Amino acid sequence: MKPRLRLLGGLGLAAAAVGVIAKRVVTKPDLGTASDAMSDAMSDGAGRPGKGGAVSPVNSFGRLQRNVRLARLGANGGQRYARLRAKQAFASAERRDELNREFQVKTAADVTAELGNMKGAMMKLGQMASYLDTGLPDHVRQTLSSLQHDAPPMSEELVVQRITEELGDHPDKVFLEWDPTPIAAASIGQVHRAITYDDRAVAVKVQYPGVAAAMESDLNNVDFVFGALGTVFAGLDSKPVIEELKERLIEELDYEAEARNQRYFAEFFDRHPFIRVPKVVDHLSTATVLTTELAGGARFDEMLSWDQDERNLAAETIFRFTFGSIYRLHAFNGDPHPGNYLFEPGGKVTFLDFGLVKRFVPDEAVLFEDLIVSMVIDQDMEEFRRMVEDAGLLAKDPSISNDQVAEYFQYFYRYLLTDEEVTLDAEYAATGVTQIFDANGPYKDLMKLLNVPPAFVVLQRINLGLMGLMAQLEATRNWRRIGEELWPFVAGPPSTQIGQEIEEWRQARNQSRFGI
């Protein structure tokens, strides 16, 4: 199996599951993993749902039936690959490339169609593929990325039923204006535009009836999926990882919890010059309906067409939000994918979807800070090793040198080690991925000692999702100096124009230095 397939089968429920699917269905090309892209719809620029027309929100498959669909998906992919090999045996080099491309697109289309109809956790599998792995062929990425916007929506009748049950009346009466056509549909629910009676434009996220049962069915397969990961990370204790992932994903079904998370972030970043979090409309929100301000801005794909200076500004704001939240709010919005951002020129970013938020206890936050100090500030590899061993990230083994430990873990910190500009491009991301996940590479003995404690499970989304996103932006900044603004133990002065304006905002609010 290629290192990228190991990445996709690695850290996180969706990554683990897709590693199995990629191996069985695609065989040679890599397909990718998933994340919920619902938030991409919560904007006034979101696209319309797919071409399949209204469907039942969650196909009523039990665990066995959903597994049968995945098995059939794998069988179809295997048969198609066998035909591909037969055709390539007598084809020219040019024709072999053409056949391989056709195979990739058709297989990705099958995965998109199958997972798009299944909803629940399984649909999440295809959604991360368009941004997670920078080595994914563009034509495959584009095919799978339709899951971010174009999943078959639920019928209008079911939406009316859900709104009536949750908000007490037909949506035409609950809202001054209601758009019955969803602006997007994804793995847990779909989003509609509306106008409230106090003339606010809002995004109304409506959860699919039955999606909780579908999610439960999918999560029951997690133990099986993680059983295959022992070949890559022999030291992985999968039980606490599984429990942490289940808890986080089940929380995504609770829109009341999501509303609390969103209010927490929105209050902290109120009137921030670059970071915007839409406010929750409390009286129009329940456990399965979430109403928020309708946000505007360009989608990620459009922003990629902007000049490099604008992309760098956007990347800086995303970086500040992600790491500033960890070190200052002790919370991490764990779904960094393109659909969760809306962009305006000058580095202004709106952050959407707070269903997957991890809050850290004080001891965990202190550990994250201490790891930065030992690796980046002091560059004390002996102390860094002691901490990762004590934290349960690495089993003790005297045959592994401190230099090996430092070299392996430095990928997570490399762009922070020097006081200079660093570009986080595809080459940077791919080199790191190969280093981290190649079980046959120079760190194969160390990898057998690795584990992922619960506090670090959701954080792996930074290493997988955020770095992949930054690579698409080809983001260039002096990340070390920006990091020093964010780290409480440094609290450095503003190092960029964005940092200076944030400092002025902080002073206007009479807040203590926190640097976000």
pTM exceeding the 0.85 threshold for the entire prediction:
no
CB atoms within 10 A of CB 442: 11
Task: Sort 30 into a burial class: Cβ within 10 Å, 0-12 / 13-18 / 19+.
Answer: buried
Residues in the chain: 516
> What letter does residue 146 receive in the DSSP assignment?
G
> Is the pLDDT at 11 greater than 70, yes or no?
no
| Percent of all residues in the chain with a pLDDT value above 70, rounded to a whole number | 64
Question: How far apart (Å, rounded) are the C-alpha atoms in residues 513 and 516?
Answer: 9
Cα dihedral 14/20/22/26 (nearest 10): -160
Question: How far apart (Å, rounded) are the C-alpha atoms in residues 455 and 359?
Answer: 9
Question: How far apart (Å, rounded) are the C-alpha atoms in residues 42 and 507?
Answer: 31
Question: How far apart (Å, rounded) are the C-alpha atoms in residues 311 and 392?
Answer: 37
> Is the pLDDT at 225 greater than 50, yes or no?
yes
Most confident of 208-217, 225-234, 409-418: 409-418
pLDDT band at 234 (very low <50, low <70, confident <90, very high): low
Contact 163, 132 (CB under 8 A): no
Q: Which amino acid, 496?
A: T
**Which of 229, 25, 50 is closest to 152 using CA atoms?**
50
Q: Give pLDDT tens digits for 379-397.
A: 999 999 999 999 999 999 9
Q: Residue for token digits 């801005």?
A: 297
Average pLDDT, the chain: 76
* pLDDT for the residue 326: 92
Q: Residue for token digits 């969706």?
A: 14
State the helix-helix crossing angle for 120-127 and 138-145, rounded to 10 degrees. 150
